[in-house]
Amino acid sequence: MGLLRFWLALAVVIGHAGPLLGYEPLDATAAVLGFYVLSGLMMAMVLDTRYAHDLPAFYWNRFLRIWPPYLAVLGATLALMLGAQILLGWAFGPLYTMLFQRVHPSLATLGLSLLGQVTLLGPGWSHFFAVTPGGGLAFAPNSYFQPNSLWHFDLLPQAWTLTTEVAFYLLAPAVVHWRSRTLAAWFLAGLAVRLGLELWLLPQQAPWHSRFLPLDLTVFCGGIVAWRAVRHGLPPRLHAWRGALAALAAAYFMSAHYLLLGSVAWQHLATPLMTCAAVPWLMQVLKSRPWEQTLGALSYPLYVGHALVVELTTYYPTDHILFYSARVVLASLATAYLIHLFLERPLERFKRVPKSV
């Protein structure tokens, strides 16, 4: 699954930076939904096997996986934002919102926002609140595209997905034991509700169908069902077709934007379904090759680090958007490698070995 995880992370980077040399494989939010499916599968797999009898080890190792790289990038973003303003007069992120959009939150609002970001409890809900003229907070779910929406004060705007991930980790030990029919029903119902909201709600109501945590949590259920398909084995008569089916899945992930005529709503429906269907075949074909594991290890640092690269790259002049996107992708890959090499690898020694192993 490492290759697919890496590709989905790269699709998010391209989605935020703009088409890479004119190429756009997949909508960024659709790629995130694919991530949720893979996360559901992986958590079901490790809770069924490696961490079946040691939940403290599961949570400690999840903490080491998520928080240190995230906090490192969060701190670097804050330092570079302040340094760029003081030394160069550049303003990006929350400073841009305050200086140029003239949105002035109170110190209490800023502190609450920062606390939510450090703990990862806030980014998933910041799209539903706005800064009032007096600097306070107000529930305003339809202010997504307004400059006073609270998410503009998130140093890493993509961190809303990590709030969802953490929520799933808390629920996973119980959810992985649900019946397959129940999981499939939640998964399909969530996709149907999402599609209906996207097709019939106004664009400014985006948080309800693209950032609403209870709705996003249903996507993980599809991954748990996919894991059970892997665990019980694929039908023998289909084994001869596993290469062709994996190739078909690869064709979708490489060209979903074009196959679905750029429709974001239909990508949000098709991508989780395709991920569920494709993972058993991809696991059969790739079988955790070392290079695939390496790519998978880079997927999270690539995802968590690219927003800072996007902000910094904006300030270098470019003749064409093609070159801007290419620079963002290359710099994001380099940043991901550095995070993995100097932070994630050293942290491996602090991970706990589960009692059952």
Return the amino acid letter for 38.
Answer: L
- Which residue has 């569920």 as its token pair? 276
Question: pLDDT tens digit string along 99-113?
Answer: 888 899 999 999 999
- The least confident of 16-25, 204-213, 234-243, 278-287 is 234-243
Average pLDDT, the chain: 91
Question: pLDDT tens digit string along 69-104?
Answer: 999 999 999 999 999 999 988 888 999 889 888 899
Phi-psi region of 18 (alpha: psi -120 to 50; beta: other; left: phi over 0): left
Whether residue 60 has pLDDT greater than 90 = yes
* Closest among 236, 213, 104 to 161, alpha carbons compared: 213
Residue 208: pLDDT band with limits 50, 70, 90 = confident
- pTM reported for the whole predicted model: 0.94
- pLDDT at residue number 99: 86
Residue 190: pLDDT band with limits 50, 70, 90 = very high
- pLDDT at residue number 21: 84
Q: Is the CB of residue 101 less than 8 Å from the CB of residue 147?
A: yes
- pLDDT at residue number 214: 94
Q: What residue ranges do the domains of the chain occupy?
A: 2-52+184-347, 94-154
